[in-house]
A = this chain, B = another copy of it.
């Protein structure tokens, strides 16, 4: 499942000094593509690292963001969600079950939006909301 992913070199590639906690968080994000919250990551790692503190999870995720090793999603207005997949895609949040799905959108094509002169775009987020197939079928 972890396949050829090397958490250690992933951190080095992003100029992040590896540690037990940092490696665990990267691996958690690599294995759980559910766009977890800081709290979900913390809870998910407690068995593995019982001494882990939530502060460390927040510190680490903030560091990862700075180094562009993860993407912070604000599709949820309650808490920030994290995605280790920084490739070109959009997100869909089901308003019923709350799950956040990856959507294979081509965000680059969105670049066609007309920006004023001198605006420099460094980040693009396309958030879709509605009802996923499971929740949508229930109401039929």
Task: Say how many copies of this protein the assembly contains.
Answer: 2
Chain A 94-131 near chain B by CB (<8 Å), digits 1 or 0:
01000001011110011011111111111111111111
B114 touches A133 (CB 8 A): no
Chain A interface mostly helix, strand, loop or mixed?
mixed
Chain A: number of interface residues, binned into ranges:
35 or more
B130 touches A127 (CB 8 A): no
- Could you pull out 25 A-B pairs where Cβ atoms are within 8 angstroms? A75-B125, A90-B113, A92-B115, A92-B119, A101-B119, A103-B113, A105-B110, A109-B112, A110-B126, A113-B126, A113-B128, A119-B130, A119-B131, A119-B132, A119-B133, A120-B131, A120-B136, A121-B129, A121-B130, A123-B127, A123-B129, A124-B126, A124-B127, A124-B129, A125-B128
Chain A interface residues toward B at CB < 8 A: 72, 74-77, 80, 90, 92, 95, 101, 103-106, 109-110, 112-133, 136-137
